[in-house]
């Protein structure tokens, strides 16, 4: 709490902004089946809509980071909140697929502007000792937004299917105004020296070179994880709507409960699980559990069983994410920032490919996306089993240096 007080609530305001953005991202999940019917769009279009957000965020993030260095964090944060508000309003007002695409791409640009600027601002106003705590606050806001976004969307949709987006637009506009008035500009620090003499490289060059790195198999798992989860989430609402007639409120309750349960495990016993069983065992078991449970979704019919299977999927993913992050951090040694950037890039690529494949397969058969996601995750389980020895050998070599 001292961190917030010393910086006159700046971190708290940043937390509110990033929380609002990631809540807005999740609003669409329980509502998309209704939009699909109203606008007469198919699964492939839904997949492309979800992927469009991640694509623009991936492409604009490097530019946004440089802009926050040159013109100031505050201006970029405010600009991002305004773009976010416009994207939410446009999504609510959209009456054609073209406008929906424009809204989602605007949303991706808004997120690209906000995320690097908020992370950089947090680094500017915290000391080395406080930085981990400050970043923890920001990441907690992101996680919370992800968790309750679908729930808020489903419940507010009871007042009208477009009301959640208009509400998010108003909230985004108010947040931009409050930020303009209350947030002081930070003093950007000098750029840190390049790690190990590594020069700045384009995102595409980093991706091309990543296959030579000792943590490449971990990056592959990050991609597959994001692909599988994005595949699962993209069509979940459509699947239960078409198969069981679930309402946006039903969909919101299932997703919210699963996400909250996973977050509670992360905050309480995740450290014990990792220390007790080790990263490699946790990663492989989580991949296998997620793959099997996604497949089981096709065979359950009762509401409580769908609830249970979805909970196990989210729990597996929420344990797997930090486990693979911890594993990569150990392999990265003094290239932490570089590896974190690659981790983010591979996550974005999975978030782009997963919805595209899921939407296309959904149009062929509503069961196909889950069959594909399950197969990919189970194959990745075998890859992780094989990679376990390579990870151990690489860690041993690096620890000897």
Question: Which pLDDT score, from 0 to 100, does residue 338 have?
Answer: 65
How many C-beta atoms surround the C-beta of residue 191 within 10 A?
A: 8
Query: Measured between alpha carbons, how far is 263 from 213 in angstroms, rounded to an integer?
Result: 31
Query: Measured between alpha carbons, how far is 151 from 180 in angstroms, rounded to an integer?
Result: 29
DSSP sequence for 32-56: HHHHHHHTT--HHHHHHHHHHHHHH
Say yes or no to pLDDT of 4 above 70: no
Query: Measured between alpha carbons, how far is 200 from 338 in angstroms, rounded to an integer?
Result: 10
Query: Which domains are present in the chain?
Result: 1-182 (1.20.1250.20), 201-400 (1.20.1250.20)
Give per-residue burial for 44-79: e unless 16+ CB within 10 Å, then b. Answer: bbbbbbbbbbbbbbbebbbebbebbeeebbbbbbbb
- Rounded mean pLDDT of the chain? 80
Q: Per residue in 178-201, pLDDT tens?
A: 999 988 887 654 444 444 344 556
Lowest mean pLDDT among 27-41, 47-61, 224-238, 328-342: 328-342
Residue with tokens 């290239």: 335
Say yes or no to pLDDT of 332 above 80: no
Greater pLDDT, 204 or 55: 55
pLDDT band, very low/low/confident/very high, at 310 (cuts 50, 70, 90): confident
Query: Measured between alpha carbons, how far is 370 from 367 in angstroms, rounded to an integer?
Result: 6
Query: Measured between alpha carbons, how far is 255 from 229 in angstroms, rounded to an integer?
Result: 12
Q: Per residue in 151-173, pLDDT tens?
A: 888 888 889 989 999 999 999 99
Cα–Cα nearest to 51, from 231, 207, 221: 231
Average pLDDT over residues 5-28: 80
Cα–Cα nearest to 11, from 186, 180, 176, 273: 186
Expressed in percent and rounded to 5, the helix, strand and coil fractions of the chain are 85, 0, 15
3-class SS of residue 1: coil
Q: Pull the structure tokens for residue 77.
A: 């944060």
Question: Which pLDDT score, from 0 to 100, does residue 331 have?
Answer: 66
Greater pLDDT, 325 or 367: 367
Say yes or no to pLDDT of 72 above 80: yes
How many C-beta atoms surround the C-beta of residue 169 within 10 A?
A: 21
Q: Per residue in 105-153, pLDDT tens?
A: 999 999 889 988 888 888 788 776 666 677 767 777 877 787 788 888 8
How many C-beta atoms surround the C-beta of residue 163 within 10 A?
A: 15
């Amino acid at each position: 709490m001292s961190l917030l007080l010393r910086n006159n609530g700046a971190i708290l305001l940043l937390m509110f902004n990033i929380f609002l953005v990631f809540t807005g991202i999740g609003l669409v999940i329980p509502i998309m089946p209704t939009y699909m019917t109203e606008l007469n769009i198919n699964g492939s279009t839904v997949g492309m809509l979800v992927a469009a957000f991640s694509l623009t965020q991936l492409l604009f993030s490097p530019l946004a980071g440089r802009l926050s260095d040159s013109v100031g964090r505050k201006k970029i944060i405010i600009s991002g909140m305004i773009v976010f508000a416009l994207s939410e309003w446009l999504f609510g007002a959209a009456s054609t697929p073209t406008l929906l695409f424009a809204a989602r791409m605007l949303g991706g640009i808004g997120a690209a502007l906000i995320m690097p600027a908020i992370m950089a601002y947090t680094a500017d106003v915290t000391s080395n000792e406080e930085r981990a705590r400050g970043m923890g606050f920001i990441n907690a806001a992101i996680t919370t937004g992800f968790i309750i976004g679908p729930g808020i969307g489903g419940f507010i949709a009871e007042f009208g299917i477009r009301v959640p987006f208009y509400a998010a637009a108003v909230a985004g506009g108010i947040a931009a105004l409050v930020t303009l008035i209350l947030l002081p500009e930070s003093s950007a620090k000098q750029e840190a020296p390049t790690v190990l003499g590594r020069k700045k490289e384009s995102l595409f060059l980093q991706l091309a070179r990543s296959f030579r790195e000792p943590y490449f198999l971990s990056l592959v798992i990050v991609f597959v994880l994001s692909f599988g989860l994005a595949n699962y989430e993209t069509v979940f609402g459509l699947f239960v709507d078409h198969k069981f007639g679930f309402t946006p409120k039903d969909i919101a309750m299932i997703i919210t409960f699963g996400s909250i349960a996973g977050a509670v495990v992360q905050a309480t016993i995740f450290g014990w699980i990792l220390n007790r069983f080790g990263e490699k065992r946790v990663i492989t078991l989580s991949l296998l559990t997620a793959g099997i449970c996604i497949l089981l979704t096709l065979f359950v019919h009762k509401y409580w069983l769908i609830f249970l299977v979805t909970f196990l999927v989210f729990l597996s993913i929420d344990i797997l994410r930090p486990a693979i992050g911890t594993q990569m951090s150990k392999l990265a040694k003094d290239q932490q920032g570089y590896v974190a950037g690659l981790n983010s890039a591979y996550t974005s690529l999975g978030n782009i490919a997963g919805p595209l494949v899921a939407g296309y397969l959904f149009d062929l058969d509503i069961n196909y996306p889950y069959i594909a996601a399950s197969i990919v995750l189970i194959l990745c389980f075998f890859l992780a089993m094989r990679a376990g020895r390579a990870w151990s050998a690489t860690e041993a070599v690096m620890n000897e240096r």
